[in-house]
Structure 1
């Protein structure tokens, strides 16, 4: 072949580069190159030196300037570089649903003066929100929710006078809500903002009265699940535009403001799980009110208020533990839209009468644990009614259905569209139009829906049609959408599994995914009013269709250029080819960190990741001072653990396998696969991994206060009192509940024990060590048959006998952990099994069940432990012989929360401000990732070595 031909092609390419490089602004091109160098898994179309002319996917241009970056759900990993400040014309930045994007937001983002929309929903960003964000004067949408941001809300956000949407929910923000003081700005200056979404953080202090005024146009104020204290400010009643108010799950106290009923546009009111007192609030005149929940407060004992009978728009009334007494008025049940009435654990009495004109939408009446003596219904009410724990059900021989708690039947809201269902292979799923395809999936989380009947299929059809209309109006390639698994979580959010199916082919391409993701992340999709505020949490999409590009135009342009600059072009071509080759080699290595993985070994196939960062060996070597002895914080059968500091300043624990050892290969694969998928404040976070130069290293967030076992044994020097043990229990239970119910796919931990529950600097519990964990696929929802693995003393006997692993196996192990929290004894100690010891010592007729000799003397000596009997009851239910008799982790969480309230604790309040707040703070103990911490691997063991229950 003529050797001149390759030179000719280099010449043509070089000419093309020179000609088109002038199309995209050079400053913008340099900034995009910085993004490309900092990120892995960028779209394949990111080639060439003209992002605007070559049409880089996700990059939008006006003339020669980059004006938008929309890359939701691209699987991007890496950090946001400071170079982004060079995109001076950028108006939209949407990087949502890329959980591999970590680190902090650079302060230089404040230089993007034309930015109007910033969406970083459900990424892995951490650190403080930069104060420079208050310089983005054109900002209309600011969505930073569902990340790991810490520190305070920047007061400078108050400078954003054009801001419409402010969502900082589901982070780890602390401190007070900032308001202006004459010299510094505050959120009270945001008169044009419609949405304050701050739920599920760690905000503290009082809600400033100055925050609200009659000049504001807020429609959503969501402050749920924080640690706010003090009174509800009277000024809240001045915000006449308000439609949704969530102050539940805080530590608020005092009386509810008397002018609350001036909020006549309010649809949703959530004040539950606080310490509110005084008279029952008067809601008369709030004619648009759909949902009311004021449960678990200590209002004055009062008769059923008259406004129960006047709220004609009411769909949901929840007033559990509000000290209500008297008889329920029959006309309450005749409200035309009423769906749910929950008034359990009060002092209601008399005969319950529903009458004959009750709402045809009424699905649930829950009046457990009151003093109701009879029931009559002239209309033959046949839906769910629960009177368990009332005198009417305590009479001998009562067999009425309302004296039994029925199991709810799950529903699938989206049936097929009158087509013949098909069987799909591989990972494909049959769409509502009966086409096999790879859908874009995730969870639609509705923060304050105005309905509570989860079985009403019409409601889901409305949402389904609304989604389709939105996608079609934006010309997105969507064939159909499916909604399934409607459930309420502990925060009273409605969770719906969403599947979006492609049109015309079985895959989405990257453009389709980013378009759909952007519609959902930027709130472009507006659901019907009944669904309220929402957030979409996407799953990683791994089925991109190939994209084709034509370079004929560039070749024609290049061929048209004369040869007057031949020598220069040949030189440029040589340099370009050299650097492109180096870049390609780096990119190939970064995009395939497991090129040397050997699937023939016991570790199985190549790990499938969802966002974990790949570190180079040199990076980890540098941050541990060459793996020095001073950096070592533990060791075990797997290898050694080192404390390191990343360039971002983040402290990490690096678990390094023994060089050349194959032991732990499967555990390495399992942990990076599973932990890269999970993100929860009560589950230890995987920062990343290293798999090069024969090394297997896992990089975790650094957990400074050791394992729960070390604290219970006294090894750590941290002494946990009874209240703190309750907080640890509920936190660990929430982590397990997340794994079982919200992780995608659900995960069975399989090795829950006090050695695998870690305590952070605030003594919050985090579930750790996923080396033995098993994901539950769609075909394994009831159980998975597998070799028995676990730790003696914690192992579910049913699992051991049948080899059928279920979520209830974790529940058993957690029950043993609960017993350890009470007794500070190992599960098997001197041949005695803790479950049997507690069961034999129990006497329910005596104070504290006669367990004084078993309880840990450091917490029980001379003290009555509030709620200990209910705690024991729950633990013993968890360790029942059969899984069917054990509660779910959701039920466990709820019951521990109830026990905490009985003990005078707020279930949602933060733990210690620091571990030093507790007597006997850490005195320099071994790190949790040592010895029997994350290294603990208990394989299958013979029956002779398993302690009988």
Structure 2
């Protein structure tokens, strides 16, 4: 009895040790459920790691999501980025999965496999994909992605497979330049599948090098122009090369002959010219297609006769002339010869020793005047229509090889396995083993097969065998596979219908379907080499069976069921006992540490004693913010930073919110979070972003601010927002930010040091007024005897006060230094550190007051003179730069106070307006870009005569000390 109890206790402890899914992953998965429709029905309960279809975990963290062919609908939420341990994401063959790929994909730093084949994703591929340093496999083919291929993919040094084919991608193939990466950096990648897009420009020579491991280069059906670069000959590992269906011109480089491993070479349907070089060293060639180019007239190339592995020769419309040597048809592997629309003449003689695999010889529209048929029953289809040999008839009847009627292409279907198929019910199909079932179906597409004989059973039997071996090796419940209807599409892809039948019952469960889908989508299955690179496109599966194994329930032993029931009851009792014990221990621990954790009861609505003391700030529930942001949807994602993401929300009364949601790794401690929101709730100024409220539930930390519609100053200076700031408007923005900082330094009690002044933290409202935001690093000077705070150095490189960096003593003058850098950024639109150059040093070295614009022609942003102030000139620029350089003095003592900065900026602005801002004859001082923002609102006029008196500007109630 004791042994049995020990066994049961071990089971209990094993269950407890396994634990439930980590809270943050559970929250994320439930958020995904809110934005996706038709998720698997067993996605319920609190432990996805235990039972949820398609979810795999390690140490209670989600590491794999494989949901191919699940019929998912909707958009992929940006919350996917919170699954920080995720390594595999496969959502293939969900054709109703649409919308953009969220930028948050870049937060999945452990992701190694990303597969979204055959969905309906659209929009650009986000640059953030370049952050995923562990990525080895990317398949985004057969979607509707637009825009350019991100340069950042070149950062993925571990990448092995890149498939972006069959989308709507545009622009050039990205290559590296300076610090900007490109595909040429992917030395370990073996597969570039980029066909069927709208790529343009030249094939860059820098793309190829002897260091590359590339074996598949597929660029077919794009808009590429220019010459084939000779550097292509350096990629000596290439096995498949498709450049067909573009507008490439010029000669084929002779060193393409160096690619001795190439088996399939497609150069057709371009504008290639010149002399066709010898390819005699490419002895591995199986499939050669040079059709529809404008090569110089040439006799049949003798080097072709050396290609002993050749199965398919296609040189339609290539200016071929002269006679075809009889020995061509003796190449042992030859299956198809297409030489139509040329100038071939003389006698056609297939010969007495033609290849036993030869199926087709198409020589239509040439100048052949004789055909010698040495076999009475020639099995080869000969097509000579449009040649002189067909101009004469025998007794008025055209010979077969001159006829329009062509025999149907031989096809293939998996044969019955020595059985007689029975009649199946509606929707079911008979398997090769004559069992009726609902198969998992789709189309296998081979992008460069090495053969053209679609009636050759041996190829397809090899494929069937390979599929079954792969399914069996992965212990999948597959009874058999059926291949049928092989066809060649206009792009010379081989398409083949595939049906996979379940074993043991008439349908697959979800586990069976998504596992088969994953095996085909991630290229685990390797087809016989003659089929070349492939992809699979699954049909929708609508006949799911029960979850679990596919075995028949009839074999279950009743005794086992009874024993399991008894054991289960005992287990439940033990779990209840363990639960009660754990609950009591938890309560005891809470009583012991209650005083040391002032936020322990924040999640209860009744308790307000431990709540922070807030003024005019509201506590929001998680469910409220979830509703206001439409489940934190990607559409409402308006930005991100080191703290987390920012979402746009809308209150029921229509008021807009900006909700900053902390990601797991950036969350503060509870005391720090409390201190920050108490600080923010006590400051109120027109040039500071207003805190409306907060949320602290479900282990979430969220701050709710007023929504500032025109984004960050950085976005405006870089042109991202589409708003242009002239000189006067830039002065007003600088003044507004300075007024906000002055309030923090001189009117807040205790004084507040922002510690992270930068263009990203200055926002522009609907009237382009500046508002300082993001107080996550702010510090209060609580000791009235000190003018500094000794603290760990934090901030942003380029804006950071060097004195604070050296001493770790934070003062108000640290904000002044950062503001000086911001002033230089305002006039230059440059980042503080750009290409290794520091803006402070650049201005200091270039500044010369004896010259126009202080000698800063090459530094000043050219767009600063656009719009209304173009007739005014940059009045006060010299004083503005002087003031900025005082702010960035090495010593804090030499820097002005922010109130002094405000007064100087007021004077500069007044002089600039007086120089012409109020006397414009047209009376219209609003630039077109500003007019679009303000929509004619008189209160937003950028050159109104409102007072800039400091006292008036700062006439807000003084903050009471806490």
Query: Would the TM-score normalized by the shorter structure come out above 0.5?
Result: yes
Matched, 1:75 2:67: no
2:190 aligns with 194
Q: Distance in 2 between matches of 1:408 and 1:502?
A: 33
Matches within 5 A, 1:79-118: 79-118=75-114
- Contact kept in structure 1, 2:18 and 2:60, CA below 8 Å: no
What's the CA shift for 1:566?
A: 10
Cα distance change on mapping 1:262 and 1:379 into 2, 3 Å: farther
Matches within 5 A, 1:423-434: 423-434=423-434
Matches within 5 A, 1:270-289: 270-289=266-285
1:328 aligns with 324
Cα distance change on mapping 1:562 and 1:133 into 2, 3 Å: closer
1:541 aligns with 541
What's the CA shift for 1:345?
A: 0.6
Query: Which residue, 307, 311, 318 being the options, matches 2:307?
Result: 311
- Contact kept in structure 2, 1:368 and 1:387, CA below 8 Å: yes
- Contact kept in structure 1, 2:409 and 2:454, CA below 8 Å: no
What's the CA shift for 1:568?
A: 12
Q: Distance in 1 between matches of 2:526 and 2:382?
A: 35
Cα distance change on mapping 1:534 and 1:562 into 2, 3 Å: closer
Cα distance change on mapping 1:297 and 1:205 into 2, 3 Å: same
- Contact kept in structure 2, 1:143 and 1:167, CA below 8 Å: yes
User: How large is the Cα RMSD of the aligned pairs?
Assistant: 3.0
Cα distance change on mapping 1:183 and 1:251 into 2, 3 Å: same
Q: Secondary structure at the match of 1:530?
A: helix
What's the CA shift for 1:561?
A: 3.9
- What is the TM-score normalised by the length of structure 2? 0.56
Cα distance change on mapping 1:385 and 1:83 into 2, 3 Å: same
What's the CA shift for 1:484?
A: 0.5
- Contact kept in structure 1, 2:290 and 2:314, CA below 8 Å: yes
What's the CA shift for 1:422?
A: 1.4
- Contact kept in structure 2, 1:21 and 1:50, CA below 8 Å: no
Deviations 1:773-817 (A, max 9, x none): xxxxxxxxxxxxxxxxxxxxxxxxxxxxxxxxxxxxxxxxxxxxx
- Contact kept in structure 1, 2:410 and 2:454, CA below 8 Å: no
- Contact kept in structure 2, 1:357 and 1:379, CA below 8 Å: no
Query: Which residue, 158, 172, 177 being the options, matches 1:176?
Result: 172
Q: Secondary structure at the match of 1:172?
A: coil
- What is the TM-score normalised by the length of structure 1? 0.57
What's the CA shift for 1:493?
A: 0.2
Query: Which residue, 367, 386, 391 being the options, matches 1:389?
Result: 386
2:464 aligns with 464
What's the CA shift for 1:356?
A: 0.8
Q: Distance in 2 between matches of 1:562 and 1:275?
A: 76
1:495 aligns with 495
Q: Distance in 2 between matches of 1:246 and 1:491?
A: 11
Please say which structure displays the higher CA radius of gyration.
Answer: 2
Unmatched runs of 5 consecutive residues or more in structure 1:
1-14, 576-581, 591-621, 624-949
- Contact kept in structure 2, 1:300 and 1:323, CA below 8 Å: yes
Deviations 1:231-263 (A, max 9, x none): 001000111100000000001111110111110
Give the number of equivalent residue pairs. Answer: 566
What's the CA shift for 1:411?
A: 2.0
Q: Distance in 1 between matches of 2:209 and 2:215?
A: 13
Q: Secondary structure at the match of 2:121?
A: strand
2:399 aligns with 400
Q: Secondary structure at the match of 1:560?
A: helix
What's the CA shift for 1:318?
A: 0.5
What's the CA shift for 1:179?
A: 0.3
Q: Distance in 2 between matches of 1:543 and 1:557?
A: 40
Q: Secondary structure at the match of 1:241?
A: coil
Deviations 1:504-537 (A, max 9, x none): 1110000000110000000111111110000000
Q: Distance in 1 between matches of 2:340 and 2:548?
A: 62
Q: Secondary structure at the match of 2:34?
A: helix
1:42 aligns with 39
2:345 aligns with 349
Query: Which residue, 59, 62, 82 being the options, matches 1:63?
Result: 59
Query: Which residue, 560, 570, 574 being the options, matches 2:577?
Result: 560
Q: Secondary structure at the match of 1:284?
A: coil
Matches within 5 A, 1:236-635: 236-380=232-376, 381-396=378-393, 397-404=396-403, 405-547=405-547, 555=572, 558-561=575-578, 563=580
Matches within 5 A, 1:639-654: none
Q: Distance in 2 between matches of 1:512 and 1:557?
A: 35
Q: Secondary structure at the match of 2:295?
A: coil
Cα distance change on mapping 1:67 and 1:352 into 2, 3 Å: same
What's the CA shift for 1:64?
A: 1.0
2:684 aligns with none
Cα distance change on mapping 1:314 and 1:409 into 2, 3 Å: closer
Matched, 1:24 2:21: yes
Cα distance change on mapping 1:21 and 1:557 into 2, 3 Å: farther
Q: Which has the higher contact order (CA 8 A, sep 6+)?
A: 1
Matched, 1:210 2:206: yes
Cα distance change on mapping 1:22 and 1:562 into 2, 3 Å: closer
What's the CA shift for 1:406?
A: 1.2
Q: Secondary structure at the match of 1:295?
A: coil
Q: Distance in 1 between matches of 2:478 and 2:574?
A: 36
Matched, 1:143 2:160: no
Deviations 1:686-708 (A, max 9, x none): xxxxxxxxxxxxxxxxxxxxxxx
Cα distance change on mapping 1:409 and 1:305 into 2, 3 Å: closer
- Contact kept in structure 2, 1:131 and 1:156, CA below 8 Å: yes
What's the CA shift for 1:317?
A: 0.3
- Contact kept in structure 2, 1:72 and 1:514, CA below 8 Å: yes
Q: Distance in 2 between matches of 1:142 and 1:193?
A: 11
What's the CA shift for 1:377?
A: 3.1
Cα distance change on mapping 1:557 and 1:26 into 2, 3 Å: farther
Q: Distance in 1 between matches of 2:296 and 2:310?
A: 24
Q: Distance in 2 between matches of 1:83 and 1:51?
A: 16
Q: Distance in 2 between matches of 1:303 and 1:294?
A: 15
Q: Distance in 2 between matches of 1:103 and 1:219?
A: 33
Q: Distance in 1 between matches of 2:548 and 2:478?
A: 20
Q: Secondary structure at the match of 1:93?
A: strand
Deviations 1:161-190 (A, max 9, x none): 111100000000000000001120000001
- Contact kept in structure 2, 1:104 and 1:125, CA below 8 Å: yes
Deviations 1:258-293 (A, max 9, x none): 111110111000000011111123211211000011
